[in-house]
Chains A and B, each alone.
Chain A
Amino acid sequence: MIWGWILLLLPIAGALGVVGSSARAAKSVALLTTLATFGVSIAAAIEFKVWGSGDFGLVSSIPWLSEVGINLSIGADSVAMMLVLLTTLLMPLAVLGSWTAVSERLKEYYGWLLLIEAAMIGVFLARDLVFFYICFEFTLVPMYFLIAIYGGSGRARACIKFFLYTFTGSLIALVGFLYVAWCYAESTGTWDFEIATLCTFAATELSLGQQLWVLVALVIGFAVKIPLFPVHTWLPLAHTEAPTAGSVILAGVLLKLGTYGIFRFVLPMTPDAVVEWAPILGILAIIGILYAGLICWVQTDVKKLVAYSSVSHLGFCVLGLFALNPLGLQGAVLYMINHGLSTGALFFLVGMMYERYHTRDMNSIGGLAKRMPIWAFFMVFFVLASVGLPGLNGFVSEFLCLIGTFAAGESGSYPGVLGPWFAAFAALGMIVAAMYLLIMVGKIVFGALKEPVNEDHHDLPADLSPREIIVLAPLAVLCVLLGIQPGIAMDAMDGSINETLAVYPDIVKGAIQQVTDAGSTVLRGGMNQ
């Protein structure tokens, strides 16, 4: 199917176009390309036809290194397709959002933006492991340059830390992937890097011990991206220093590459090991939720606060993934999309404020509702979406993740290894989130008007310009839409999720059975004595 290739190549062509055009035309070219890509993704979504089933659409393959089974094969299931849509939606907004914020080295800037779009789409469309890895790694390069050239004052440290953390993580994941591929080659005699083949193989043929090693390798790789406690420390730095569009892409899509990786690889590849390790990963996620939430509480830098809130929020997403039941998984996938929408919007808002006042310090700024009512409206709106106000999107996904976690006990048709205690502690995180976000809103939106003096004033209007409203409005509309009609998205991904989860109930039951058996043996042993 040609749509997938167009989706991949269009941004690359656009990047070349940007480099070839003049500096003044660069942003127009970039905007047109991203809009066209969005259009193509809509067309592809219509053409997709396998919504709701677990099948792959847009499937296509070009042989590349056939000796070792590496091909350029693409295709998407419904979850991947949704994330592609999220990516292509956010990109034109990111370009529009940087319209006035970036004023130098324009061609490079928009070139990198378009390249990162291609790489992100590639990650979601890849059906070949090596192709996936290439795209996954390549997202680092544009982001590195976006932070390093256009970032804030501490950018040098931020971009190096960002690069080294993620690069190290993904190298370890690569070794894990290669190990699986080798095991496959060992047992069948031919190399193959098709993701689906390797997943089925690993899930059925690898022993628990082997799966554990693979799980550890993959989780290290993806946990850095998510980021999961304790490898989250690169994120606040990178977010704070990145230009607005960079932060939006980072929060909106790049972090999801980690959770998507867990959904696409960890869950299907190493089910036995996942059942064994889900509680540990769940605990790490909860530590992340609470710890990052508490850090947010004491932040005075708005952008840093939103950055840490990402760490906290994605903890819910991880919990949902390891709940191992449809509710949790649906919640997690929805969470990926919702977090992309609302946190992306929050970063836009912070960026718009920063463009006007050149500060993000909560103590030196306040009562902006009086100066910028439209901005204030959007700020409150997206904070509420992020906090999880019923009726908006955040609520649905957070609630599903928590319910999923709660229900992941030992009984039911989808037994799990988390359970009420995990849900209880995670729910504390919701309260903390409400606290820090509302405190932030209280300080900068309401109260007495406090405006820092900004010497070099841009020719920006006091309140949002129409362009900025256009950036925020689509996100707001989607937040409402997914808040009242989450069913559309949930139905669409049902098939993929059920497919992923199909093997789990038996494995979990088996594991529980084993534990009870062992327990009763111990008990009996004790009684006999």
Chain B
Amino acid sequence: MMSMSNHLWFLIPEAILLVGVVFTAITGLVRSVSVRQLAPAVAAVFVVASGVASVFVFAPDRLDTSAFLMPALGRWVGVITAGIGLILIIASVGRVDRRLEQSVAAGRLRFDPLRSSRGEYYAFMLLSLAGLMLVCTANDLIWLFLALELTSLPTYVLVAMSRTNRLAQEAAMKYFFLGAMSAAIFLYGFALLYAATGTIEFDGMRAALKAQAAEGELGALAIGGLLLSLFGIGYKLAAAPLHLYAADVYEGASAPVTAFLGFVPKAAGTLAIMVLLVATGLDELMALLPYPILIMLWVVAVLTMTLGNIGALLQRSVKRMLAYSSIAHSGYILIGIIAGPGLGYSAVLFYLLAYGIGNTAAFSVLSGLERRGEELTTLEDLAGLRQRHPVMAAVLAISSGSLLGFPPLLGFWGKLLLFIAGIQTGHLVLVVIAAVNSAISGWYYLKLVAVPIMAAPTARSESVERGPSNWPRLAGIVMVVATLVLPVFLGWLVAESNDSARTSQAVMADQLQSETEDNSGRLARLSALETALQGPAQR
């Protein structure tokens, strides 16, 4: 148990974001246009501040006092949330409140705070980002649930307010109702876990479940609870079979919001699954998933990547295609989850970064361009993009390459680490399936490269113009530069993600080991590892 004051220390980044929410919302309502337009800048400042804060808050000398399941997780997540969150904010500039501002500028309307949604838009983004960060500091089920919901609830509103057409409203309704249903499912799972262990504290749960496991195997209540929880949280990842909303919702929302949906809830869901699995007694020392959970995750992973990729093959709308591709990426991420703590979780963290960057870059292109004031939708809109917007065509090509996992871009390293983690834990078949899936995804990612660069411009694509602001395009360029440059610092990145993925048990075990270089202890650990590694292989 950690003291409340201690816990508060680790909440400084989130607190900064919440203060930012207030300031951003107010800034968006100011009558002066020039101040009003600063809302995204205010949001950006607070996001950056929270990212910087999380580096200091999770400084190594502080971690001993944290008592989190994964002590350093917050640092990695805080930094990438802030980094990608910043880009997502930048990618939205110029889109929000566009009609209203045009009318005001033309003198047709007076500015009416009630009709403006600029402030709320960025404020909701910050709230959702705060939810994502909070997942990492969860140490009981209620906290985890609230963090997940804090991530999701603002996104429902974001989808609805992102565009003024009916598609967006439909998308928001679907997203909300299905989201509520999934929340109900995993909340029920949490309840069962409570029933099985008699506590909502992760430490207590962990001890209780370890005791159960030591007696034989986990009880049906625990297994059932875990199954339902993972299944429900799978909605946040758009994991099959709860993936069906993704295409419609992504299509309905505006491009920057879609980029947001593609990263933030997905990251939150992934982290929640990691935290939950660690909380149920899974760590580097006993990396053995109970059979039913393993089978479920395995089936979900295979279904998710296969359905995602096949779905993406069939799309003509770029956003739907990217939506399905993001489903497929959830499938790859699940390989790391199955591989478990250690290399697996480290690979997941790395992959989230790589995927987030690639995905945001691709959507920034869609956000930075428009056709007669509307977003680009079909592939034909992109035909011959190179001739008039060469940089955007290059951004789209490189980000697709990274999402495809083409060396030497960042996405390749993400996939490589996931594959290594998968093979290391004996899931060779899963990795082969993922490799085949990557090959399938080549087909549609190649379209995103080929159509803008090679195809002849059509009447539709001739009328593609720059969007209202330069910022989204800048966001895309920054992200693409990141996919090119970050691989140079690979050693450092992987070391960081390894550190962040370590569970407290592993850290403790390491400390013990360094204190007493006890050979028998090492042997026990080795043999535990050995059985852990052989177990899944034999299945």
A residues whose Cβ falls under 8 Å from a Cβ of B: 63-68, 70, 130, 133-134, 137-138, 141, 145, 148-149, 155-156, 159-160, 163-164, 167-168, 171-172, 174-175, 178-179, 181-182, 185-186
- A149-B454, A164-B442, A164-B446 known; A178 vs B491 contact (CB < 8 Å): no
Residues of A contacting B: mostly: helix
**Can you list 16 residue pairs at the A/B interface with Cβ under 8 Å?**
A64-B491, A134-B412, A155-B454, A156-B450, A160-B443, A163-B446, A164-B439, A164-B442, A171-B439, A172-B432, A175-B431, A178-B416, A178-B420, A178-B423, A179-B423, A182-B424
Pairwise interchain contact A174-B435, C-beta atoms closer than 8 A: yes
- A164-B442, A171-B438 known; A137 vs B407 contact (CB < 8 Å): yes
Specify which chain A residues have a CB less than 8 angstroms from the CB of B420 in the assembled complex: 68, 178, 181-182
Specify which chain B residues have a CB less than 8 angstroms from the CB of A65 in the assembled complex: 490-491, 494
Pairwise interchain contact A160-B491, C-beta atoms closer than 8 A: no
- Cα A245 to Cα B438 in complex, Å, equals 30
Given A65-B494, A141-B401, A175-B428, 15 further pairs, Cβ under 8 A = A67-B494, A67-B498, A68-B494, A138-B408, A141-B406, A145-B453, A160-B443, A164-B439, A164-B443, A174-B416, A174-B419, A175-B419, A175-B423, A175-B431, A182-B420
- Cα A32 to Cα B147 in complex, Å, equals 60
Specify which chain A residues have a CB less than 8 angstroms from the CB of B104 in the assembled complex: none
User: Does chain A have a CB within 8 A of B495?
Assistant: yes
Query: 8 closest pairs, A vs B, by CB?
Result: A168-B439, A134-B407, A171-B435, A182-B423, A65-B490, A134-B408, A137-B407, A65-B491
- Cα A160 to Cα B412 in complex, Å, equals 20
- Cα A506 to Cα B494 in complex, Å, equals 43
A135 → B minimal CB distance (Å): 8
B500 → A minimal CB distance (Å): 14
Specify which chain A residues have a CB less than 8 angstroms from the CB of B419 in the assembled complex: 174-175, 178
- Cα A134 to Cα B495 in complex, Å, equals 21
B485-500 toward A: CB 8 Å interface, digit per residue (1/0)? 0000011001100100
B444-484 toward A: CB 8 Å interface, digit per residue (1/0)? 00100010011000000000000000000000000000000
Specify which chain A residues have a CB less than 8 angstroms from the CB of B495 in the assembled complex: 67
Pairwise interchain contact B491-A63, C-beta atoms closer than 8 A: yes
CB-CB nearest in chain B for A136: B407
Pairwise interchain contact B432-A148, C-beta atoms closer than 8 A: no
- Cα A130 to Cα B420 in complex, Å, equals 12
Pairwise interchain contact B446-A160, C-beta atoms closer than 8 A: yes
CB-CB nearest in chain A for B417: A68
A250 → B minimal CB distance (Å): 18
Pairwise interchain contact A167-B424, C-beta atoms closer than 8 A: no
B387-436 with Cβ < 8 A to chain A: 401, 406-408, 412, 416, 419-420, 423-424, 428, 431-432, 435-436
B95 → A minimal CB distance (Å): 32
CB-CB nearest in chain B for A66: B491
Pairwise interchain contact B498-A133, C-beta atoms closer than 8 A: no
Total CB contacts across the A-B interface at under 8 A:
78
- Cα A149 to Cα B393 in complex, Å, equals 14
Specify which chain B residues have a CB less than 8 angstroms from the CB of A175 in the assembled complex: 419, 423, 428, 431-432, 435
B279 → A minimal CB distance (Å): 27
Specify which chain B residues have a CB less than 8 angstroms from the CB of A186 in the assembled complex: 533
Specify which chain A residues have a CB less than 8 angstroms from the CB of B436 in the assembled complex: 168, 171-172
Specify which chain B residues have a CB less than 8 angstroms from the CB of A67 in the assembled complex: 491, 494-495, 498
- Cα A63 to Cα B442 in complex, Å, equals 31
- Cα A164 to Cα B420 in complex, Å, equals 23
Specify which chain B residues have a CB less than 8 angstroms from the CB of A63 in the assembled complex: 491
Specify which chain B residues have a CB less than 8 angstroms from the CB of A148 in the assembled complex: 450, 453-454
- Cα A63 to Cα B436 in complex, Å, equals 31
- Cα A74 to Cα B344 in complex, Å, equals 29
Specify which chain A residues have a CB less than 8 angstroms from the CB of B407 in the assembled complex: 133-134, 137-138
CB-CB nearest in chain B for A155: B454
- Cα A111 to Cα B453 in complex, Å, equals 15
- Cα A159 to Cα B446 in complex, Å, equals 10
Specify which chain B residues have a CB less than 8 angstroms from the CB of A181 in the assembled complex: 420
- Cα A138 to Cα B446 in complex, Å, equals 14
Specify which chain B residues have a CB less than 8 angstroms from the CB of A171 in the assembled complex: 435-436, 438-439
Specify which chain A residues have a CB less than 8 angstroms from the CB of B443 in the assembled complex: 160, 164
B212-226 with Cβ < 8 A to chain A: none
- Cα A149 to Cα B455 in complex, Å, equals 9
A437 → B minimal CB distance (Å): 34
B27 → A minimal CB distance (Å): 42
- Cα A11 to Cα B407 in complex, Å, equals 18
B2 → A minimal CB distance (Å): 31
A242 → B minimal CB distance (Å): 14
CB-CB nearest in chain A for B450: A148
B261 → A minimal CB distance (Å): 28
B148-178 toward A: CB 8 Å interface, digit per residue (1/0)? 0000000000000000000000000000000
Specify which chain B residues have a CB less than 8 angstroms from the CB of A68 in the assembled complex: 420, 494
- Cα A174 to Cα B191 in complex, Å, equals 43
Question: Looking at the complex, which one of B408, B438, B439, B450 makes contact with A160 (CB distance below 8 Å)?
Answer: B450
CB-CB nearest in chain A for B492: A65
- Cα A179 to Cα B491 in complex, Å, equals 22
A445 → B minimal CB distance (Å): 36
Pairwise interchain contact B490-A167, C-beta atoms closer than 8 A: no
- Cα A527 to Cα B314 in complex, Å, equals 64
CB-CB nearest in chain B for A70: B490
- Cα A279 to Cα B420 in complex, Å, equals 32
- Cα A155 to Cα B453 in complex, Å, equals 13
- Cα A148 to Cα B443 in complex, Å, equals 15
CB-CB nearest in chain B for A163: B446
Q: Which of A64, A65, A163, A185 has the most CB of B within 10 A?
A: A65
- Cα A160 to Cα B439 in complex, Å, equals 12
- Cα A87 to Cα B327 in complex, Å, equals 42
Question: Looking at the complex, which one of B416, B454, B490 makes contact with A156 (CB distance below 8 Å)?
Answer: B454
B71-130 with Cβ < 8 A to chain A: none
CB-CB nearest in chain B for A175: B435
Pairwise interchain contact B494-A167, C-beta atoms closer than 8 A: no
Specify which chain B residues have a CB less than 8 angstroms from the CB of A149 in the assembled complex: 453-454
- Cα A174 to Cα B436 in complex, Å, equals 11
- A164-B443, A179-B423, A185-B424 known; A64 vs B490 contact (CB < 8 Å): yes
B199-258 with Cβ < 8 A to chain A: none
Specify which chain A residues have a CB less than 8 angstroms from the CB of B406 in the assembled complex: 137, 141
Specify which chain A residues have a CB less than 8 angstroms from the CB of B423 in the assembled complex: 175, 178-179, 182
Pairwise interchain contact A130-B435, C-beta atoms closer than 8 A: no
B496 → A minimal CB distance (Å): 11
B165 → A minimal CB distance (Å): 34
Specify which chain B residues have a CB less than 8 angstroms from the CB of A155 in the assembled complex: 454
CB-CB nearest in chain B for A130: B416
Specify which chain A residues have a CB less than 8 angstroms from the CB of B439 in the assembled complex: 164, 167-168, 171
A121 → B minimal CB distance (Å): 15
Specify which chain A residues have a CB less than 8 angstroms from the CB of B416 in the assembled complex: 130, 174, 178
CB-CB nearest in chain B for A179: B423
Specify which chain A residues have a CB less than 8 angstroms from the CB of B450 in the assembled complex: 148, 156, 159-160
Pairwise interchain contact B454-A179, C-beta atoms closer than 8 A: no
CB-CB nearest in chain B for A145: B453
- Cα A155 to Cα B450 in complex, Å, equals 11
Specify which chain B residues have a CB less than 8 angstroms from the CB of A66 in the assembled complex: 491
- Cα A63 to Cα B488 in complex, Å, equals 11
- Cα A156 to Cα B408 in complex, Å, equals 25
- Cα A186 to Cα B533 in complex, Å, equals 10
- Cα A172 to Cα B442 in complex, Å, equals 14
A132 → B minimal CB distance (Å): 10
- Cα A213 to Cα B448 in complex, Å, equals 34
- Cα A160 to Cα B432 in complex, Å, equals 22
- Cα A174 to Cα B412 in complex, Å, equals 12
A514 → B minimal CB distance (Å): 28
CB-CB nearest in chain B for A213: B428
B485-539 with Cβ < 8 A to chain A: 490-491, 494-495, 498, 533
Pairwise interchain contact B454-A163, C-beta atoms closer than 8 A: no
- Cα A186 to Cα B454 in complex, Å, equals 46
Q: Which of B412, B443, B454 has the most CB of A within 10 A?
A: B454
